[in-house]
């Protein structure tokens, strides 16, 4: 334009335009939401599936080089035309990534798929002056029942794993119970053994004590009997002595008479 060596680009601001000398053109900088549908695309293993992705894109107005590239690509085009170009570009990259991955990878690791599409598409979009704000995989579907079968297989595997886990848990529980019972029986046997040993020691000590008591008793009884016999003998001897004395006195009396 007049007074400028190159067109003046103003992002989100105002500029003075000289009528009939300068020309004003606008390019939308607002964020565009794209729903990218890729029907019946053959994946890496030849299984056809359909996916739907959602992306947020916008022309980069803060970077002069990217804004210049966007102006070269889209100046004079409507927002709908820009939307269609961006949509077709992203849809092509989405299809390309689908062809490099298996159904299982796409279905089970959506983040990996989304990152692959984002990374590959970003280069082309930067060259057009557009940035991809975000991209997510919204839906994965097929008409052949492959995903349903995959889900059933996974469900069956989960149920199988659950049964195995339950059986292993019951086995571990049984082992723990058996070990606990074994330890309990060992403790009980040890306790019973200690009780029996204590009982035996008690009986032996009691028997020794009883024997000692009976021996002492017998000795005491024998000593008593011996002493009684001695006492009786002494009494008899004394009685005999009295009789001798009495007889002696009787004789003396008779002699006097």
95-111 pLDDT, tens digit per residue, is 999 999 999 999 889 99
Cβ 17 vs Cβ 25: under 8 Å = no
pTM of the model: 0.54
pLDDT in tens, 216-256: 888 888 888 888 888 888 888 888 888 888 888 888 877 77
Cβ 37 vs Cβ 21: under 8 Å = no
Res. 15: pLDDT tops 80: no
| Element of type H or E holding 7 | none
% of the chain residues with pLDDT over 70:
86
Sheet of 48-59, strands arranged across: 32-42, 48-59, 130-141
Cβ 107 vs Cβ 54: under 8 Å = no
């Amino acid at each position: 334009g007049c007074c400028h060596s190159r067109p003046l680009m103003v992002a989100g601001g105002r500029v003075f335009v000289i009528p009939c000398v300068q020309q004003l053109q606008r390019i939308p900088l607002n964020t565009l939401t794209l729903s990218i549908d890729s029907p019946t695309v053959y994946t890496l293993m030849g299984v056809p599936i359909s996916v739907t992705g959602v992306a947020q894109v916008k022309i980069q107005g803060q970077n002069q080089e990217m804004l210049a590239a966007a102006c070269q690509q889209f100046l004079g085009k409507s927002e709908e035309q820009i939307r269609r170009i961006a949509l077709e570009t992203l849809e092509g990259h989405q299809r390309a990534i689908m062809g490099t991955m298996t159904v299982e990878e796409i279905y089970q690791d959506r983040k990996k798929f989304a990152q692959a599409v984002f990374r590959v598409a970003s280069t082309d979009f930067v060259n057009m002056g557009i940035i991809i704000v975000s991209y997510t995989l919204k839906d994965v579907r097929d008409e052949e029942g492959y995903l349903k079968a995959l889900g059933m297989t996974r469900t069956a595997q989960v149920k199988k794993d659950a049964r195995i886990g339950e059986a292993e848990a019951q086995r571990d529980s049984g082992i723990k119970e058996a070990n606990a019972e074994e330890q309990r029986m060992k403790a009980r046997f040890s306790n019973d053994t200690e009780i029996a040993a204590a009982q035996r020691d008690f009986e032996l000590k009691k028997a020794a004590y009883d024997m000692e008591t009976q021996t002492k008793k017998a000795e005491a009884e024998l000593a008593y009997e011996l002493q009684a016999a001695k006492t009786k003998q002494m009494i008899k001897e004394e009685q005999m002595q009295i009789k001798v004395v009495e007889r002696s006195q009787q004789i003396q009396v008779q002699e006097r008479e």
